[in-house]
Structure 1
Amino acid sequence: MRSFLITRFAAAMLLFGAIHPAQAQVKPTPSDTTKKYANPGGIPAAVHKPFLKSKLFKAVAIPAVLITYGAITAQGDAGVNHDARTFVQKQFRPVNTMIDNTVIFLPYLELGAVALAGVESRNDRINTLLIIAKGEAIMLASTFAVKYIANETRPNGQDNLSFPSGHTAQAFLAASIVHTEFRDKSQWYGIGAYTIATSVAALRMINDKHWQSDVVAGAGFGILSAHLAYLSHRNRWGRKSIGRDVGMAPAYFGNGASGVTLSWRPSK
């Protein structure tokens, strides 16, 4: 009887092993670790905006339209240039060109006055100065390069550096920086700066220094230079004070030369 029970138990064990051999030998499949460190912080992947909504498109759209219009209409004393010059000469008399050389820096004077009045700008003072320097470099390099390439004669025949207007580019560069720095506080700062820049463009035509196409393209170069300066700016040190007072003011150095003076009083 005992041998019969042992034989049946052994047969049952053999049958169980035959029915479930895979279960006894199956090993867990290792998880895929090839992308383990692809996104360790769990941060969602950046969503790329369409080009028409990108910062680059917004930065170049309006300047590109102005520059393109100026280039298309740059035909000397013909077309819209002729009509605009005739209208201006009938309505206005030339003024002292020293005004042109001074008014172009008034937006920077506004920038300094508003900042010293305690209105917080978008960037701290040292970063704003760096943006101004970068914008000036871009504007001067681009406008003078195009001047020599275009070889456009001024309305008064003085030289062949008419297109685009450097004075207008300078004024609109400064106005764009004022607008960008204070637009979160009030749009009126930018409106005032752009009004000054527009008056510079008008003065250049009233004094028969530039065609209409010159000042329109000059405005485009000025705005574009400011936008590129902001887009390419990466040097930031926070909003720590670098001194008790940093001021900017236009200056006249004689012989028709003008510029900007900077003053700095270091902190104690």
Structure 2
Amino acid sequence: MRSFILTRFAAVALLLGSLPAYAQLPATAPSDTTKKYENPSGVSSAVKAPFFKSKVFRALAIPAALITYGAITAQGDAGINRSAREFTQKQFRPVSTGFDNTLIIAPYFELAAVAIAGVESHNDRINTLLIIAKGEAIMLASTFAVKYLANETRPNGQDNLSFPSGHTAQAFLAASIVHTEFREKSQWYGVGAYTIATSVAALRMINDKHWQSDVVAGAGFGILSAHLAYLSHRNRWGRKSIGRDVGMVPAYFGNGATGMSITWRPKK
């Protein structure tokens, strides 16, 4: 009887001693199921970048501003155009117009020289040539269409194709391509090309061929043409570099015919 009471007492003591351990367990909060269907996949939604940070906006903002300024100030021999012409004629004398015609493609010579020197461009040679061809087509079509629509008389009265400046558009198109192709290597390539393009714009005013509004808008058309060429290009000829290694060796074709054999080995 005594052992039975002790056994019962021990069991009750063990039970009472274990109660604090259960009391110390934290209560589990009920789960919140009010938003369970808002994102069932569990993947956070992508944050949309602001419009002003988009590639299209960055490509169009500067040329659009230049073209808009040129269009607003295109008033012939009046306003800021007259002031700029008078200042230019007082400070500078006319130079050979042939120099203008040569300088407009000088950035392309820079592009070729840097490529021959071994500096790798952003695109391979085939795709760069395609971009140049596309940019030239866009620039020529847009500038000459606006020239005939605007019917603006040149400062020297030569004709009514003053607005915008085609020479300036050509120079800034080439400069923009040089800048885009080599900006990853050095910004100075673009600085040199844009300096040449700005010189062309200045010479067009010095030679009394264009108003200030013409050259500003021409710069916008040139930059815009280059940006549109890049935006619409998707490397249709592949992304691997081609034409990095070019070799030339004499060749004999039989029957006394000689010539030159050209090898063009792809290399990334």
TM-score, normalised by the number of residues in structure 2: 0.75
Counterpart CA distance in 1 for 2:64 and 2:173 is 15
1:267 alignment partner AA: W
Counterpart CA distance in 2 for 1:70 and 1:138 is 19
- Report Cα offsets for 1:104-142 as digits up to 9, x if no partner: 000000001001101011000000000000000000000
Query: Are the aligned partners of 1:165 and 1:217 in contact in 2 as well (CA < 8 Å)?
Result: yes
1:197 maps onto 2:230 in alignment: no
> Corresponding residue for 2:242?
241
Counterpart CA distance in 2 for 1:47 and 1:221 is 33
SS in 1 for 2:101: helix
Query: Are the aligned partners of 2:85 and 2:211 in contact in 1 as well (CA < 8 Å)?
Result: yes
Counterpart CA distance in 2 for 1:229 and 1:162 is 25
- Report Cα offsets for 1:34-68 as digits up to 9, x if no partner: xxxxx9xx998765422111111000000011000
Counterpart CA distance in 2 for 1:55 and 1:185 is 21
1:231 alignment partner AA: L
Query: Are the aligned partners of 2:135 and 2:228 in contact in 1 as well (CA < 8 Å)?
Result: yes
Counterpart CA distance in 1 for 2:155 and 2:43 is 59
> Corresponding residue for 1:88?
88
Which consecutive unaligned segments of at least 5 residues does structure 2 have?
A: 1-40, 248-261
TM-superposed CA distance for 1:245, in Å, is 4.8
Query: Are the aligned partners of 2:108 and 2:178 in contact in 1 as well (CA < 8 Å)?
Result: yes
Counterpart CA distance in 2 for 1:59 and 1:240 is 25
Identity level (%): 79
TM-superposed CA distance for 1:244, in Å, is 4.1
TM-score, normalised by the number of residues in structure 1: 0.75
Query: Are the aligned partners of 1:243 and 1:266 in contact in 2 as well (CA < 8 Å)?
Result: no
> Cα RMSD over matched residues?
2.1
Which consecutive unaligned segments of at least 5 residues does structure 1 have?
A: 1-38, 247-264
SS in 2 for 1:267: strand
> Corresponding residue for 2:73?
73
Query: Are the aligned partners of 2:205 and 2:212 in contact in 1 as well (CA < 8 Å)?
Result: yes
> Corresponding residue for 2:136?
136
Counterpart CA distance in 2 for 1:44 and 1:217 is 45
Counterpart CA distance in 2 for 1:187 and 1:243 is 23
> Corresponding residue for 2:264?
267
